[in-house]
Amino acid sequence: MDIEPGQKAARRGRNAITIHDVAKHCGVSPMTVSRVINGETNVREETRQKVLASVAALNYSPSTSARTLASRDDTQIAVLYTNPSTSYLNEILIGALTQTGLSGCRLTIAKCEGLDEAVETVEDLAAAGIDGVLLPAPISNSNRVALALDRVNLPSVGIAAAQQPPGRTTIAVDDHAAAFAMTTRLIELGHTRIGFIKGHPNNRASDFRTEGFYAAMNAAGLDVDVDLVVQGYFDYHSGFEAAAVLLGRPDRPTAIFASNDDMAAGVLANAHSFGVHVPAELSVVGFDDTTTATTVWPELTTVRQPTVHMASEAVDLLLLQIRAKRAGAIFEPRRELRDFEIIERQTSAPAPKT
Amino acid sequence: MDIEPGQKAARRGRNAITIHDVAKHCGVSPMTVSRVINGETNVREETRQKVLASVAALNYSPSTSARTLASRDDTQIAVLYTNPSTSYLNEILIGALTQTGLSGCRLTIAKCEGLDEAVETVEDLAAAGIDGVLLPAPISNSNRVALALDRVNLPSVGIAAAQQPPGRTTIAVDDHAAAFAMTTRLIELGHTRIGFIKGHPNNRASDFRTEGFYAAMNAAGLDVDVDLVVQGYFDYHSGFEAAAVLLGRPDRPTAIFASNDDMAAGVLANAHSFGVHVPAELSVVGFDDTTTATTVWPELTTVRQPTVHMASEAVDLLLLQIRAKRAGAIFEPRRELRDFEIIERQTSAPAPKT
DNA sequence: CTGTTAGCGCATTCAA
DNA sequence: TTGAATGCGCTAACAG
């Protein structure tokens, strides 16, 4: 177990150490090493340990290229994205990159401007021999894209999708449950007059979040004042204006739950104008935990989606589909739901005493 | 040039079409096809065209695995990042992923919490056989990380780095020139009393931007009122407070140039409280064009760095270094400067008439 | 300018 | 439970 002086330089590229070196090192055939590496069961435990020791001693790591070449399993998946500044794209990329690295498949990215272009891009991807695509929201919600995918017979997994196009697999957070939990938290803090800003009406997530809010209020035996539920559009400006409505009322709410962070940030900005102190006089909470949440001040209490994790799971789900397709098997479309997390930062506090 | 009915299914994985198929299709040897594919010059133009035609007809694309295996050039680079919510990380990932896809090298990612961990991670990466690393700011500015990189003899390229650790290659935007240009633009709009919010003092970029501001004012023959230059810390809150100082003055500025978008957003929020209208009464401009710039309302006029492009160039620079290192050649560290772009959105307007 | 031979590092298929 | 042969798709090195 001594550190050999010469071992460090032996890596990929030139004189990398191969499966043969390992085999020689522990006196077995390369085939046996291969079996151990790939976790096959038909190897004597004793042999396995010997091989493992050599692998560690030589700091061996198998060549991905040789592996995919020999196993004839060269799968390549793509992330289809629209706007590079979408705040969760980096998390998706991180999750996907991590998992593809582990699974030994290659990851490409493809950009498209709108839904029209997305349809085209899907066709290009298929023509280029891509085996499957990862679809971040909002593309994952599009039925047109789903249809294009069907047409070229390409597996996909939608990430953070609010809806699930027929026949397509998606992974997301339970918006209803999350909104329920956040509202309940506000109620626990003593708030009873809670304002709610709905999301964009063309997005199903908006409905689920709104319903979660109502459900939590009902569950707590609280009436919801319909004047305190106002329409928003998921952008800062609409949050700003909604706040004007809500805070302009004689009996203003002691808490405002905005359906996303951008709107919550808008509320925050307007609260300043109204001279109401957050969180002492008003709690403000958002949804999504985007960069906005920690950019503004005070930092937002919000709901976090496990985006990185969902993305890596999405890769696995995609691989499952691809293999099923290759094997001629059928893969039942799934809708996977993952747990959210409530991140309490500086904009939520107990309701002010009246 | 007819579309053969059977050609579509022939892709990677199982029955992919190979260089042999192409060779057969146009009656040459596989080697000649290889030469054409790799753009070698010693092929007769006539032959090249024939091959190209077959490639197109068969929709052939070479197998990356086979290529890297045969050429014995398996290089693998990593992006070392700290905070997944850093707004430009996705752009870096996009640029890097695009370029590594083109160059046929693999991309990994590695996360680290702080600088201490970064040093460790660098060592792990080296031990894992990574050939080089991409360093987004702010890690790219760290001398400690640079030292660790030296220790394990690992090439690197810093992206959007304000400073260049000795011996390290970086690619960035000319902060001075950009701040100069933005200030000049404000002056063109008729502003003469311009407030400036400096960035965090521990970041060299702050100095360059500040100097660019001064230089532009001087160049225009304008005096800068030192009371109008206030210290900020690159966060929303410091921008908010700086705005309070600036807007609380009897002779407040008609424009405020914040050294980054987050601070500009803070200024915007406080302008509301002061009841000053943006951009009619006050122009506010930022720097970086992060997601914040388009989240707030009105949307920010700002300076955009070509991050995606810089990232793909960074990959090339890294590859150059890696090859130089393998060849035993020396690679002179470089500092590449790229052009910025001024994005005029809704927060800048001609100076109000007095 | 073009073709032939050899082998990259590994996994599959068979045999022992 | 293990090993020997064979070839994945491509390119380097040499021949012609």
Residue B61, Cβ density class (10 Å: 0-12 exposed, 13-18 middle, ≥19 buried): middle
A65 → closest Cβ in B68, B93, B236: B68
Structure tokens at B304: 């955009």
Each domain of chain A, given as residue ranges in start order, spans 59-173+306-337, 175-304
**Chain A closest-CA separation from residue B289 CA (Å):** 10
Could you tell me if A261 and A293 are in contact, meaning their C-beta atoms sit under 8 angstroms apart? yes
| CB pair distance less than 8 Å for B87 and A87 | yes
- Residue among B87, B94, B272 minimizing CB distance to A291: B87
Q: Which helix (H) or strand (E) holds A115?
A: helix A115-127
Residue A340, chain B, CB below 8 Å: the answer is no
Which run of H or E residues covers position A313?
helix A307-326
Question: What is the CA B17 to C1' C3 distance in angstroms?
Answer: 21
How many other CB atoms sit within 10 Å of the CB of residue A104?
16
Contact A95, A307 (CB under 8 A): yes
Question: Both tokens of residue B162?
Answer: 């304000």
Strands B335-338, B169-173: pairing is parallel
Q: Which residues 43-72 of B are in CB contact (within 8 Å) with A?
A: 59, 61, 63-69, 72
Contacts of B85 in chain A (CB under 8 A): 87, 90-91, 290-291, 294
B74/A86 touch (CB, cutoff 8 Å), yes or no: no
B121/B123 Cα distance (integer angstroms): 5
Q: Which run of H or E residues covers position B209?
A: helix B204-219
Which residues touch A109 (CB under 8 Å, ≥6 apart)? Answer: A78, A79, A80, A81, A93, B94, B97, B98, B101
Side chain identity at B29, as an amino acid letter?
S
Furthest-apart CA pair in chain B: how many Å? 84
CB atoms B97 and A93 under 8 Å: yes
Cis before B5 (ω within 30): no
In chain D, which nucleotides are within 7 Å of a protein Cβ? 1-5, 7-13
Distance CA B129, CA B132 (A): 9
State the amino acid at position A327 in one-letter form: A
Provide the CA A322 distance to its chain's centre, in angstroms: 20
Interface with B, mutate which of A105, A291, A319 (most B CBs under 10 A): A291
Other CB atoms within a 10 A radius of the CB of residue B257 amount to 33
What is each CA distance from B323 to A17, B107, B202, B318, B331, in whole angstroms?
19, 16, 35, 9, 9
CA B34 to C1' C10, whole Å? 23
Q: How confident is the model over B10-30, as pLDDT tens digits?
A: 345 556 789 999 999 989 989
Length of chain B: 354
Helices A115-127 and A143-151 pack at an angle, to 10 degrees, of 20
Distances (CA, A) of A196 to A179, A267, A297, B241: 11, 11, 20, 29
CATH of B59-173+306-337, one of 3.40.50.2300, 3.10.270.10, 3.30.420.40, 3.30.200.190: 3.40.50.2300
pLDDT by residue, tens only, chain A of 354 residues: 332 333 333 344 446 789 999 998 989 989 999 999 988 888 899 899 989 999 999 999 999 999 999 988 889 999 999 877 677 888 999 999 999 998 889 999 999 998 889 999 999 999 888 999 999 988 998 899 999 999 999 999 999 888 889 999 999 999 999 999 999 999 999 999 999 999 999 888 999 999 999 999 999 999 999 999 999 999 999 999 999 999 999 999 999 999 999 999 999 999 988 999 999 999 999 999 988 999 999 999 999 999 999 999 999 999 999 999 988 889 999 999 999 999 999 999 999 987
Q: Which of residues 3-32 of A touch B (CB under 8 A)?
A: 11-14, 16
Q: In what order do the strands lie in the sheet with B169-173?
A: B106-111, B76-81, B132-136, B156-159, B169-173, B335-338
Find out whether the peptide bond into B279 is cis, omega within 30 degrees of 0: yes
- CA–C1' distance A6–D2 (Å)? 31
Fold match flag (A59-173+306-337 vs A175-304)? yes
pLDDT tens-digit series, residues B179-191? 999 999 999 999 9
Residue A142 in contact with partner chain B when CB distance is under 8 A? no
- Domain A175-304, CATH 3.40.50.2300 — does that match? yes
Token digits of residue B233:
């810390």
Residue A167 exposure: Cα atoms within 13 Å on the Cβ side: 14
pTM summary value: 0.90
CB B140 within 8 A of CB B132: no
Cα(A71)–Cα(B15) distance, integer angstroms: 13
